[in-house]
Chain A
Amino acid sequence: MSKRLLLIEDEPNIIEAISFILSRDGWHVASHSSGTTAMERLRAEPPDVVILDVMLPGRSGYEVLRDIRDDPSLAKIPVLMLTARGQTKDRELAERAGANLFMTKPFSNTEVLEAVRALVPAT
């Protein structure tokens, strides 16, 4: 059974790109483009791994991540943060909020794939 991945991102083209790459690697990719309702979606269908964008409409990715870590049922889910802001400050913020990995846009497709694979070891 393929691993489920939730992509929380608001840029349609990026959603399409990541979905295409990961699907071809056997991932079951779902996407959600609002920060506000992201937690409901996560609780409703808890994925095996989350790719989280920082700049989301409604709520920032950091807030969503903090909620994930605070929710016992979701706390263990590995999270890869993607951000268009590549400053050190942003990386620190992401780490403090509990991100497992942090990547800056534009990203390399291979790196994303490897990162996701690393986060969810095959069982």
Chain B
Amino acid sequence: MISFNGLVVICLAYVAMLFAVAFTADRFARKGHSRWLRSPIVYTLSLSIYATAWTFYGAVGSAARSGLEYITIYLGPSLVMFGWWWLLRKLVRIGRSQRITSVADLISSRFGKSNLLAVLVTILSVIAATPYIALQLQSVTVSFEVFANGGGTDTGEVVGRNTAFWVAIGLAIFTVIFGTRNLDANERHHGVVMAIAVEAVVKLTALLAVGIFVVWGLAGGVSQTLEVIEASELGQWQVHGGRWAGLIFISGAAFLCLPRMFQVLVVEAADEDHLRTASWAFPAYLMAMSIFVVPIAAVGLAVLPSDANPDLFVLTLPLSQGAEGVAVLSFLGGFSSATSMVIVAAIALSTMVSNHIVMPIWLRLAGGRATISGDVRNVVLTARRVSIVSIVLLGYMYYAVSGGGSALAAIGLISFVGVVQVLPSMIGGIFWRGATRTGAVAGLVIGSVIWLYTFFLPSIGIEVFSERTLAEGPWGLGWLRPQALFGIAGLDPFLHALLWSLALNALAFFGGSVLSFPTPVERLQGAQFVNIFQHSGGPRSWSSGVAQTEDLLIMAQRILGPGEAIALFRREAERQGVRGDLPEPRPDFLETLERELAGSVGAATAHAMVGQIVGGTSVSVQDLIAVADESAQLMEYSARLEAQSAELSSTARQLREANDKLTRLSVQKDAFLSQISHELRTPMSSIRAFSEILRDSGGLSAEEQSKFASIIHDETIRLTRLLDDILDLSVMENGRVSLNMREGRLCDVLDRAVAAGSVGESDEVSLEVRRDRSTEDIVLYTDLDRLSQVFINIISNARKYCEAAKPRLTIRVREQNRALAIDFIDNGQGIPRDSRDVIFEKFARISDQRAGGAGLGLAICRQVMERLGGTITYLPGQGGAGFRVLLPRKAALAAE
């Protein structure tokens, strides 16, 4: 028989192994090899902390007492896992996107970051968890006692308590070491999760080993075992439908609401997709855990003496048969169940206590300066460590005071009913946008009070409620009997407590939500939670600008640690494109920062801390809306002003332009009139002078008379031509010209122009025109007469002004991009550079030579080309005067 001390050694060795596993996993994680650590299997195994010592030992006890009822405890969570798509996926998504650290944080965050709610949930959770932790300590102690008694050692209550105490201390140390290594809950506890996964395997192996030992070693096979079961009273127990339904519901609900379950299910979840695996793997695990429960119970009832505690069959059965190895394994299984539960519960609860109770108090005491001057990181860590130790010791004290009397399963149920008081707020919060803080507080308070009054306090014993109070109600008020509220007696105490507490809780939650009005932050958070799959933006905006980034950095360093905080700020600065390490305190950055901080200290606290620096502990959406409204009005007003001013300046500009145009026109008109006057008066002078001579002077020779008369004649023609040109130009400038669009060949137009341009040419100096007819075979669609007028003008100009001894004009036709270019180049001196831009102006005559023109020719050409959609430009660098006529492509139809 193994000695008590031997068992202690085994225990210590096992614990040392767990330390090693946790330590190694942490090391691996830090080196970045967290992929394997974060597999779906590890996630699934970590969920097995649901199966505590209560399930490990108590399931057999429950089966021995109530038959298959224990199955319900497994069915509830299995149903929740099967339905992961509807509920768990949403919870995990919310938990990850909002950096939720605990159940209390979830509720608080959903209902406007209310710290009151967080405190309520925390207190409720601690009260509910304490007996449960006590239960785990008790189970370890009892299992020790079994071994000690079996070994013949005389152990009294003192030894038991000592065992419980040392176990509590050991668990506290383990949890402090691996549970508070990382401050940010979202960095997760790799070591702890891995240790829990190992313990899950140990649990399952132990229970399977005992089961196999019992079925094949004790009963002698499957059929014999079935006979034993048949023979026992197990199969005859009646099914209590209401109680079963209640148990299935409560276990499923507790699976969601238990702080430790929330910790592994949501907070430690590395990947949403792991849920997919866990949805079948975890029910499978639970099934494996439960498969041998009935055989063990039946064989235990048959084999062991009738006064044996069925809760310990798992341990006593192999021990009574001298199968020490199986017994030790079984002991380790129970030990694993107890320790893993305590560790995770302590982590979850300490997070809640430190974030929602210690930190707010500390912040208030330290005042605003503390967020930047004190070392918050140390405060948080210390608070968490102290919380862990306190919670474990609280469990120990509960155990020590209560003396560990009740059946294990009963304590489990009390705890479950307590924690599921969170359920209405949680489910309502993530599915119903109308849920409000008031409703959540009302539901939680009423549910908790009823739970305490009807279930928790009566369970403690007659120290709290005397027999008389239970039987007749306090102060003789029958309707207030704790286990028969409002006179409804005869119900199972569990069912009674569950129904009343949850029903009134839900009613208060619903009523409170409907009757109250959500604050803006609540409403935003509500939308974020309920529509988590549509939203991924931040929860709400900070008004930035007031915040001092440096202060924020100092604060963030205190909480996140200097390296990480600086990295975060630098990343943000880079993202914003700001030089240096300090980003602008823009709203989105403040939200990111707050969420990072929330991972360490909880949403409400992070909100408060950022608020202390940014100014104003909460920026209400109403404020923001008011600001937005105001600025919208301002913007509208200024937009109106701007529009008016733009209109005014546009009008002014138009006026100025009109004025300029008028002035320009007036100047032009003056210049034009003056030019016209000059051009008209000059020939008229000659006409008048010579007609007077002819009239007044006698004795003129016939020759003279004829000469003077022809001068008069010529000048009259000149006048007429001038008037024609002026009219032509005027018509064209006013756009009143109607074009006579026709089809024709370019070469024909050129032929006509060359012929007309040479009219009146003297014989001695004739202008030679060089053409390449092969290039001129192009069909045009334009006003051929007008185009011809332009050509004539250019050709006669060349004839008039080309001073070469052998004047020559080359006409080149070329297709250029989308236009047809017709170049006229003579071999004269060309036009001086400074005159080139005036030759197309009216009355521009650059040569001293009398040429008889009014200086309107090229001006008319320009107007004509404009009307035809083309241009006429001077072509420099040709060795003579060059003019280029450009016709648009549409005017030139290809000859093909």
Does chain B have a CB within 8 A of A93? Answer: no
Q: Does A12 contact B (CB under 8 A)?
A: yes
Asked if A57 is at the interface (CB within 8 A of a chain B CB), the reply is: yes
Residue contact A106 to B678, C-beta cutoff 8 Å = no
Q: Which B residue sits closest to A109, measured CB to CB? A: B692
Asked if B682 and A17 sit within 8 Å, CB to CB, the answer is no
Tell me the complex Cα distance, A24–B680, Å: 27
The yes or no answer to B749 lying at the interface (CB within 8 A) is no
Partner of A13, one of B677, B690, B696: B690
Cα of A34 to Cα of B847 in the assembled complex, Å: 11
* A79: min CB distance to chain B, Å: 18
Number of interface residues, chain A, beta carbon within 8 A: 27
A97 within 8 A of partner (CB): no
Also in contact, A85 and B682, with CB within 8 A (given A24-B697, A106-B687, A107-B689): no
10 additional A-B pairs beyond A17-B685, A17-B689, A109-B692, beta carbons within 8 Å, are: A11-B682, A11-B685, A12-B850, A13-B686, A21-B689, A24-B697, A87-B674, A105-B681, A106-B681, A106-B687
B711 x A84 contact (CB < 8 A) = no
Per a CB cutoff under 8 Å, which of B684, B711, B850 touches A105? B684
Chain B: how many interface residues by the 8 Å CB criterion?
Answer: 24
Minimum distance in angstroms from B57 CB to a CB of chain A: 124
In the complex, whether A26 has a CB less than 8 A from a CB of chain B is no
Which residues of B from 688 to 730 have beta carbons under 8 Å from A?
688-690, 692-693, 696-697, 711, 714-715
Decide if A106 touches B688 in the complex (CB within 8 Å).
Answer: yes
- Rounded to whole Å, the gap between the CB of B694 and the closest CB of chain A is 11
* Residue A108 CB within 8 A of the other chain: yes
Q: Is B273 an interface residue, CB under 8 A from the partner?
A: no
Q: With A13-B715, A24-B697, A87-B674 in contact, is A57–B848 under 8 Å at CB? A: yes
Decide if B674 touches A107 in the complex (CB within 8 Å).
no
Contact call B715/A84, Cβ cutoff below 8 A: no
Let me know if A84 and B689 touch, CB within 8 A: no
When distances are taken between beta carbons in the complex, the residues of chain A under 8 Å from B697 are: 20, 24
Q: Which residue of B680, B683, B688, B711 contacts A108 across the interface (Cβ within 8 Å)? A: B688
Hey, which chain A residues are within 8 Å of B693, CB to CB? 17, 20-21, 109
* A 18-29 to B, binary, CB cutoff 8 A, 1 in contact else 0: 101100100000
Q: B690 to A85, Cβ gap below 8 A?
A: no
- Do residues B688 and A107 form an inter-chain contact, with CB atoms below 8 A? yes
Chain B residues within an 8 Å CB radius of A34: 848
**Known contacts A17-B686, A55-B678, A84-B685; is-contact A108 B692 (Cβ 8 Å):** yes
Q: List residues 88-116 of chain A with CB under 8 A from any CB of chain B.
A: 104-110
Bound: A109/B711 CA distance, A: 16
Residue-wise interface mask of A (70-81) relative to B, using a CB-CB cutoff of 8 A (1 in contact, 0 not) = 000000000000
**CA gap between A55 and B678 in the complex, in Å:** 8
Taking the nearest CB of chain A, how far is it from the CB of B79, in angstroms? 108
**Closest A-chain residue to B712, C-beta based?**
A13
Mind listing 27 A-B residue pairs with CB under 8 Å?
Answer: A10-B850, A11-B686, A11-B850, A12-B850, A13-B686, A13-B715, A14-B686, A14-B689, A17-B689, A17-B693, A20-B697, A33-B848, A55-B678, A57-B848, A84-B677, A85-B674, A85-B681, A86-B681, A87-B677, A105-B685, A106-B681, A106-B684, A106-B689, A108-B688, A109-B692, A110-B692, A110-B696
Compute how far the CA of A33 lies from the CA of B847 in the bound complex, rounded to whole angstroms: 13
Distance between Cα atoms of A20 and B694 in the complex (Å): 11
Known contacts: A10-B848, A13-B711, A14-B686. The answer to whether A109 contacts B678 by CB under 8 A is no
> Which residues from chain A contact B848 at a C-beta distance below 8 Å?
10, 33-34, 57-58
- A20 to chain B minimum Cβ distance, whole angstroms, is 6
A62 vs chain B, min Cβ distance (A): 14
Kindly name the residue among A12, A17, A85 whose own CB sees the greatest number of chain B CB atoms within 10 A.
A17
